[in-house]
Structures are given as structure tokens and as C-alpha cells.
Structure 1
Amino acid sequence: MSGILYHFSLVLTGIAVALLLPVAVAASYGETVALVDFGLTAALTSVVSVSAAIALTGRERRLVHKNGYILLIMVWALVPAIAAIPVVLITGLAPIDAYFETVSGLTTTGATVFKTLDPLPRAVIFWRAELQWIGGFLTLLSIVLILAPAGVGGLPGRQIRLLETSERTDISRATQIVLDTATAYGAATFICFVGLFVIGAPAFDAFCLTFSTVSTGGFMPRDGDLSVYGLPALEVWLAIFMVIGATSILWHRMVLQRRFQLLREHRESYVLIAGIVVLGVLTAAVLFQAAGSASVLSPLSALREGLVTAASMVSTTGYETRTGGLALLPLPLVLMVIFIGGSAFSTAGGIKAYRFGAMATQSARELTRLLYPHGIRPAKFGSQPYDMQLMKAIWSHFVVTVMVLGIITLVVAGEAIDYENALLATAATFSNIGPVYESQWQTGVRHWQLFEEFGVVAKLALCLTMIAGRLEMLALLGAVNGLIWLRR
């Protein structure tokens, strides 16, 4: 348990440092109340984290897989509670609403209980965006340090060493991976911000959009959609980084290191990009048809908006190029795309394209077996060896996910919420793409409740769903089993 608490204290230290940025924003905009509340929260968090680290000096710090699961659930469940403190103090939100907002931010879901952002202090808007950036980084660390090495849900972990770029022996392998991941994540953030600033986005908006895009989060710094900026180049630039966020960080490293053999075998990212292109063309056709004529929306503009929307859906970011753009698409198609999500080693949500591809491969093998019972079939899909142990893990993850989401849907619907609402809200929060629920799906529905209208039980259930989407469902169950074991 001491190892769990020690590493959690390190996370709290990082949160305390992160709280200083909203303090700086509040100071620059003359928001005195926000400055004091964020400053006090940062100070209290620092005291707690430093005290815990001192108290645990000399104790065991190593984490086994079971303890790693418990650490993850503590981070995803408790850090938002700390992050919600200044939100409650500044905005006057109910604690459950503030917690929902910060869970949504940290899990990069982008669902919000705010009807409008106009009255909010800039420091709060910045904090929402920064939480998403932190959550994206924590997502990558969770995958490469805990989930993939443990093979949770069939995650492939044998190529994680690609993330190591140095041969230093004075630091641990885990520390080296953290530093290398932080460097890559920070570089992407810097390049994205510079591009947005050069294109013409205001500095504050550029920061917030960068944090939301690199993490595939979806929070906007102002009301409306991307069209409020009137900058087509901005949409294209964001689409590029949404694609980067949706594809595997291992693939990014293969490209930079010119590992051509591995690049040929790593099919997931290529299939994902091809899927974005196909979906983008289909979306462009739908948008062009809805516009009615080329004078309203030119074919080139429709193609641009279609590709941006497709990248937004596959990366589970949730940006829209026009209000209600996602609602123009067939709901089953949207549900399927967001449920699959992006690559296994990415900040995107969903069950991951890797698992979907594995299940499709096995299904094809079983169909072929019916025709050719004694045929010889390949034992790999892409660069990943195919074996029944792997497929058992993937199918177990899929079945448990579907069962849990079905239960959550019924719980949400039990709060006097229409079933259509409950189904899409559950799918959107699990896939960490909250804005898709808030698109204009109201047509033909009796009453389309927004997140702020949900009851306490429904909001708590959706918070659990957002955390489950980030933890991988089986890791959440492993954490629960670990907590039970600790109480014995």
C-alpha cells in the first residue's frame, strides 16, 4: 500500500504545480476570486502531497500489477475531486456537477454541465482545458507503464521499448519511458500551439484548443463550434493533430526512428487513417446534400468539413465544424465509430481499433475453417502474434464492456431519462467523446435532456463510465478485486 500512496503523492505534486497556471491566468485577467481560490487549492494540495511523500520515506515503493490498478482508480477518481474544489468555489456549481465536469476533463471526455461559457472566468475555462491535457498524458502513462505490460484486455505490450530513446543507466526504465513520453507529448503540444497562433487564433484560445486537441479531449474555450473562428486552416491544423492523437505513439516512434520493417507490419494506424478518409468522404457527401447547393457549401469546403468531422469522431475528440454536424449522420454509424475509437497506444477512447481488428480477424478465420477445416491459416494479424490466449483476453474485454455499458444505460434511463438519451450518453462517456451527445439529436425525440439536466445517480453512473473508458474495463474490475483483497 505504501507504494500506491507514494506514487499517488507524486501525481498530487504534479496537480499542485498544474494549478499554478490558472493562478497566472487569473492574475493576467484580473480575476481576484479565481486567483485566491486556485492559489489556496494549489497550496493545500502541495502540503498534502509533500507530507505524504515525507511520511513514506524509506517505505517500499514498488508497484505490482494489482497495486497498479488500484493506483489508477485512485488517480482517475480522486484527482477530479481535488480539481473540482476551485470550480465549486468560483462558479457556485453543486459539488456533483463540478465533479462531473472535472472527471470529464481529466478523462478527456469533453462532456459539460455548463449551458454557456460566457460568464465563466478565464481561469476556469483554462483549467478545464489543462485538465484534459493532463488526462491525455496520464492516459499514455497508464497504458505504457501498467495496462499494456499486464496485457489488460489483450493490449500488446512487447514493443513498448520503442519509446526508450536513451541508454542512460542512472535512471529506472519506467522513469526513462515517462521522460521520453513527456518529451514527445510536450513537443506535439508546442507545435500545435505555434501553428494555431500563426494561423490567427487568439493566444488564449490557441492554448485551450491545443490542450483539448493533443489530448483528444473536446472542450471548447468558447460557446459554439469550430466555425466561430472563421478560419478553415485552423480546422485542418486541428484535424492533423486529432489524427496524431488517434494513432499509436509506438507508430510515431517507428516513423521517427525509421524502423521500416516494423512500419510495414504495424497496420493499425494505416487502417485507422484510411478509415478517417473514407468516413470523411461519406460525411462530406452528407453535408453537401444537406446544404442543398454548391452556393451554400462548396464541394471543397464539404470535403474539408467531412475530413475534420471524421478525424474528430475516430479520435473521440468531438469537435464539430458546424452546430449539429454530427447529428446529420446516421446514429448507428456514429455509435459504431465512437465505440471502436482510435489506436491502442493513443489518447483516443473506445474499445480501440486493435481489438476490433483482432475480433474481425478471428471471425474471418472461423468462417474460413467452416469451408476448409484442415487449411493452414496465418498465425499473425499485423505484427501481433495470434494465439487463443490473446483472443480470450480481447473477447473477455469486449463482453464485459458490453455488459457493463448495458447496466449503466439502464441505470441512467432509470432517472426518468429517455432510453435513446441514456444509450447515447453512456456510449459517448465510455468512448470519452462527450460532445457527440450534445449535438442536435433532438429531432423526433420527446425530450433530449442535456448533461446538466441529469439526476445525481445518472451523473455518478456516467462519471464511473468515463473512468472505466480510461481505465480499460478489465483493469477497473482488477482494481475492485485488489481493494477487496486489501480489506482482508
Structure 2
Amino acid sequence: MSAVIRHLAFLLIGLCVLMVFPAFMALADGEHSAAAAFFTPALLTAGLAGGILVALRDLTPPLSRVGSLFLVILTWPCLALVAALPLAGISALTYPSSLFESLSALTTTGMSLIADLDAQPSALLFWRALLQWYGGALTLVMMVLLLAPMAVGGLPHRRISLVGRSRARFGGRIFQQVRIILTAYGSMTLACIVWLIASGVNPADAVFLALSTLSTGGMTPRDGPLEDYIPIAGQFGLILFMIVGATSILWQGMILRRDTYQLRRHRESYAVIAAAIAVGLVLAELYHLAAGRGLANFPAALLEGLFAGASLISTTGFHVREESFSVLPLAVLFLCALVGGGAMSTAGGLKMFRIGVLLRQAERELSKSLFPHGVKTTRAGGHVWIDNDVRGIYAMVLASVLVLAFTATGLALAGLPFAPATAAALAAFSNIGPLYGAGPVAADPWPALSSLPAHGLWFLGFAMVAGRIEVLALFGILNIAYWRNR
């Protein structure tokens, strides 16, 4: 357990470093009390984490498999407990509500209890955006270095290195992969900021939106739809970078290394792009029909459709207009959100590769019913999937259904009607919080999340973390047989 505590201390120090940026922003705005709300917890937490690192510097064994699962699970609530302190200090939110807000940002879910964004300090908005970005970075690192090597939920665990051939030792290769992930993630974030500013977006809004886009977090810096303050060129940029956030960072590494062999074998990221385009074209036609079938209306409908398609598949949840998602039935919205983007990305959902493997496995079972003595493998995404991996995917889907049912039941007991409870549970689990309330307009508006009692928010928080950690990591730690044999 000391290895887990040591790694958590490192992550807390990283969080404290990030607190410095909104603190200086608050000072620049003349909000000295807001700056103190960041500096104080940053200094105290950094001192505590630093003391832990000093105390454990000679006592820490390597991180075990069980320790890795504990680290993946504990990271999000531990970071949220500290990240909520500045939010509670500079907003009208209570600490429990601030905890929910910070957990939503860190897990890149994007659910928010803040009603009037335009009246909030810029430091608060910057902090939410930074939390999303930090959560996205942690998601990529944990996926590549912890979850995929353990094949959690059938995650691809072969050929997951980002460094290609290297003579470096194991520890050196780990450091290389972390450096490559953070460099690529940071570079794409910077590119998004430059694109948005060049397209005419306010620099502060550009920074906040870029941090939210690459992390697929979905929190916006202003109230109202994006069309109010993002020009057409900026919307094109957001489409591009939402797709970047939804595709595998391994695939992006293949492109940078010009690894044509692996690029030909890779399938999932191409499927993510195709799904975003397909959903976007369907939405564009629906928007075109709603606006009248004149040719003058089609370019705007096409842009909005592609934007909404990329937003849904990437589980970002941005919308150009308030009604962008209302043209689709709830079942279709739920399906898109549940499938989600690619593995090794910041997107939520079950992930596209799992759907592909399940479809191929279904085809295999049908073939066996016709040719019971035939030999047929499950081939998907350019790879042959062994039975253990397929069983892992089945377990992941079953665990996801159980978490969704548990969360929806808890929300119903907290006072939400069936449809809103189901939508909120799925939005939290798939880490696409803005989807809640974005479906077809009902006769009775859905209750605001801020009206939920505290235990209702806890159910949502549980679903957010479960979705972010590929859920089976949680069930693995809860394995009774392991604890009985310790």
C-alpha cells in the first residue's frame, strides 16, 4: 500500500502545481481572497504530500497488480477532495457540491451544479478547465501504463508501447511513455488554443475550451450555446480536436512514427471517425429538414450535424445550439453515448473496439451453429482475439449494465423520474454529462441536477468514477476471494 500512497502523493503535488495558475489569474483580476483560496490548500497539500514522499523514499516496493488497481480507483476521489477546496472557497457551492463539481471535471464528465457561469470569477472557470485537462492526462497515462497491461475489460494489451524499439530499462521506458503522452497531449491542446484564437475566439475562452475539448470534458466557460461566441472557423477546429480526443493516442503515435504496418492493421480510430461522420450526416439531414430543404440552409446544417456527431461520439457533449441533440430519439442518443470513442483516449463509453469484437463474436457463434465442427477465430480490428479477451469484454458489458442499473435505481430513490434517472446514470457513466436534459423536449422539463439531494449526487459520482476506470477495476478490488485469502 505504501507504493500506492507514494504515487498518490506525486499526483497531489501535480494538482497543487496546477492550483498556482488560477491563483495568479485571481491576483491579476484583483481578487485576493480568491487567490488565497488556491494558494492555501496548494501549500498545505504540497507540504503533506512532500512529507509523505520523504518518509517513504526508502520504503516503497514496486507497484503490484493489486496496487495498480487501488491507485486507479483512489486517484479520482483523493484528487477531488483537494480540488474541491478552492471551488468551495470562491463560489456559492457547499463543500459537498464542490466535491461533485471537481469530481465531474476530473473524470471529464462535464456535469455542473453552477447555474450562472457568466457571474463566476475567471479563476473558478479556469480551475474547472484545468481539472478536466489534468483528468484527461491521467486517463491516458493510466490506460496505457496500468489498465491495458492488465487487459482490464478486454483492453488491447499487446503492442501498446508508444516508444517503438528501445534499449532503455523498464523504468526508463515507463518514463519515456509518460513523457510522450504528456508532450502529445499538451501539443494538441496548444494547437487547439492557437486555432481558436486565430479564428477570432476570445483568448480566455479559447484556453478554457481547448482544455475542455482535448480532455472531452464538455464544460464551457459561458452560459448558452457555443454559436453565441464561437465563429464558424472555431467550430471546425473544435470538430477536429474533439475527434483527436476520441481517437487512440497509440494510433496518433503510429502516425507520428510513420508506422505504416501498424496503421494498416489498426481499425478502431478509423471506426470512431466514420461513426462521427455518419452520425453527423444523419443529424445534418434532420437539421436540413427542420429548417426547410433550401440549398442555402444545407452548409449550416452540415456544419452543425458534424459538430454534434463529433460531440456525441467523443462524449464531449458540446452543442452549437440548445436544441442540437433534440432531433434524435433518446434511445439513439443513449446508444451513441454508451458506445463512445476509442480505447486509449480520453473519451468515455464502452469503447468502439468492444462493440467490434462483440459483433465479430456474434458472427462466430452464428457460424458455429451452422458449422459446429468448423474452426473460426474472432478477428476484429486487424487482430485475433483469444477467448480470455472476449470473456473480459463480456464481463465489462455486464458490469456496465449493473452499474447503470444501480445508479439509475439510486437516482430514482432520490426523486428523479424514470427517464431522467436513466439519462443521468448513462450520462455520468459514459462521462458525457451535458447529455442530461439535451434530448427531445418533454412536456415537463427534467429536474436540475442541483435539486438532487446529497445522496443522489453520490450515486452520480460513483457512476462517473466507475466509467472512468473501466468499471472492472472496481469489481476486481471488490473480489471477496482475494480478501479472504490474504
> For the superposition of Structure 1 and Structure 2, which TM-score range results when normalised by the shorter chain?
over 0.9
| Letter aligned with residue 395 of structure 1 | Y
Identity percentage of aligned residues:
38
For the structure 1 residues 342 and 440, does the alpha-carbon distance in structure 2 shift closer, same or farther, using more than 3 Å as the test? closer
For the structure 1 residues 486 and 85, does the alpha-carbon distance in structure 2 shift closer, same or farther, using more than 3 Å as the test? farther
Unpaired runs of 5+ residues, structure 2, are none
Does the Cα contact within 8 Å between 1:113 and 1:452 map onto a contact in 2? yes
Mean CA deviation greater in 426-435 or 364-373: 364-373
| Letter aligned with residue 262 of structure 2 | L
Corresponding residue for 1:476? 474
TM-aligned CA deviation for residue 400 of structure 1: 1.3
Corresponding residue for 1:460? 458
Corresponding residue for 1:332? 331
d(CA) in 2 for partners of 1:31 and 1:486? Answer: 54
Corresponding residue for 1:234? 234
Corresponding residue for 2:395? 396
CA-based RMSD: 1.9
For the structure 1 residues 487 and 26, does the alpha-carbon distance in structure 2 shift closer, same or farther, using more than 3 Å as the test? farther
Corresponding residue for 1:451? 449
Does the Cα contact within 8 Å between 2:317 and 2:432 map onto a contact in 1? yes
d(CA) in 2 for partners of 1:380 and 1:131? Answer: 38
3-state secondary structure, aligned to 1:92: coil
d(CA) in 2 for partners of 1:78 and 1:52? Answer: 15
Does the Cα contact within 8 Å between 2:291 and 2:297 map onto a contact in 1? no
d(CA) in 2 for partners of 1:440 and 1:308? Answer: 16
Whether 1:122 and 2:122 are equivalent positions in the alignment is yes
d(CA) in 2 for partners of 1:409 and 1:420? Answer: 9
Corresponding residue for 1:156? 156
CA deviation string 1:195-254 (max 9, x = no partner): 111111111111100100010110001111210115011111011011011111111111
Mean CA deviation greater in 51-60 or 474-483: 474-483
TM-aligned CA deviation for residue 322 of structure 1: 0.5
d(CA) in 2 for partners of 1:211 and 1:202? Answer: 14
d(CA) in 2 for partners of 1:47 and 1:129? Answer: 25
Does the Cα contact within 8 Å between 1:4 and 1:61 map onto a contact in 2? no
Does the Cα contact within 8 Å between 1:163 and 1:250 map onto a contact in 2? no
d(CA) in 2 for partners of 1:83 and 1:2? Answer: 23
Whether 1:382 and 2:381 are equivalent positions in the alignment is yes
For the structure 1 residues 22 and 392, does the alpha-carbon distance in structure 2 shift closer, same or farther, using more than 3 Å as the test? same
3-state secondary structure, aligned to 1:345: coil
CA deviation string 1:74-122 (max 9, x = no partner): 1111111110011111113122211111011000001101111022110
d(CA) in 1 for partners of 2:344 and 2:310? Answer: 17
Does the Cα contact within 8 Å between 1:163 and 1:181 map onto a contact in 2? no
3-state secondary structure, aligned to 2:119: coil
CA deviation string 1:168-196 (max 9, x = no partner): 55952222211111111111111111111
Corresponding residue for 1:21? 21
CA deviation string 1:9-54 (max 9, x = no partner): 1001101101001112112222222111111111111111101111
| Letter aligned with residue 8 of structure 1 | L
d(CA) in 1 for partners of 2:31 and 2:292? Answer: 46
Whether 1:255 and 2:255 are equivalent positions in the alignment is yes
TM-score under structure 1 length normalisation: 0.96
d(CA) in 2 for partners of 1:220 and 1:112? Answer: 10
Mean CA deviation greater in 32-41 or 311-320: 32-41
Matches within 5 A, 1:148-297: 148-163=148-163, 167-169=167-169, 172-292=172-292, 294=294
| Letter aligned with residue 456 of structure 2 | A
Does the Cα contact within 8 Å between 2:360 and 2:379 map onto a contact in 1? no
For the structure 1 residues 144 and 186, does the alpha-carbon distance in structure 2 shift closer, same or farther, using more than 3 Å as the test? same
d(CA) in 2 for partners of 1:215 and 1:230? Answer: 19
Corresponding residue for 1:39? 39
For the structure 1 residues 442 and 449, does the alpha-carbon distance in structure 2 shift closer, same or farther, using more than 3 Å as the test? farther
Matches within 5 A, 1:425-440: 425-439=424-438
d(CA) in 2 for partners of 1:447 and 1:337? Answer: 22
Corresponding residue for 1:342? 341
Mean CA deviation greater in 383-392 or 467-476: 383-392
d(CA) in 2 for partners of 1:97 and 1:486? Answer: 37
3-state secondary structure, aligned to 1:380: strand
Corresponding residue for 2:407? 408
Does the Cα contact within 8 Å between 1:164 and 1:176 map onto a contact in 2? no
TM-aligned CA deviation for residue 480 of structure 1: 3.6
3-state secondary structure, aligned to 2:456: helix
d(CA) in 1 for partners of 2:395 and 2:453? Answer: 31
TM-aligned CA deviation for residue 379 of structure 1: 4.4
Corresponding residue for 2:421? 422
| Letter aligned with residue 446 of structure 2 | W
TM-aligned CA deviation for residue 265 of structure 1: 1.2
d(CA) in 1 for partners of 2:424 and 2:98? Answer: 18
Does the Cα contact within 8 Å between 1:2 and 1:56 map onto a contact in 2? yes
TM-aligned CA deviation for residue 367 of structure 1: 1.3
Corresponding residue for 2:314? 315
Does the Cα contact within 8 Å between 1:141 and 1:178 map onto a contact in 2? yes
Corresponding residue for 1:362? 361
Corresponding residue for 2:71? 71
| Letter aligned with residue 93 of structure 1 | L
Unpaired runs of 5+ residues, structure 1, are none
For the structure 1 residues 483 and 432, does the alpha-carbon distance in structure 2 shift closer, same or farther, using more than 3 Å as the test? farther
d(CA) in 2 for partners of 1:121 and 1:145? Answer: 37
For the structure 1 residues 400 and 41, does the alpha-carbon distance in structure 2 shift closer, same or farther, using more than 3 Å as the test? same
d(CA) in 1 for partners of 2:395 and 2:65? Answer: 18
d(CA) in 2 for partners of 1:138 and 1:328? Answer: 35
For the structure 1 residues 127 and 64, does the alpha-carbon distance in structure 2 shift closer, same or farther, using more than 3 Å as the test? same
TM-score under structure 2 length normalisation: 0.96
Mean CA deviation greater in 40-49 or 474-483: 474-483
Higher relative contact order, structure no. (Cα contacts within 8 Å, ≥ 6 residues apart)? 1
| Letter aligned with residue 334 of structure 2 | L
For the structure 1 residues 292 and 217, does the alpha-carbon distance in structure 2 shift closer, same or farther, using more than 3 Å as the test? same
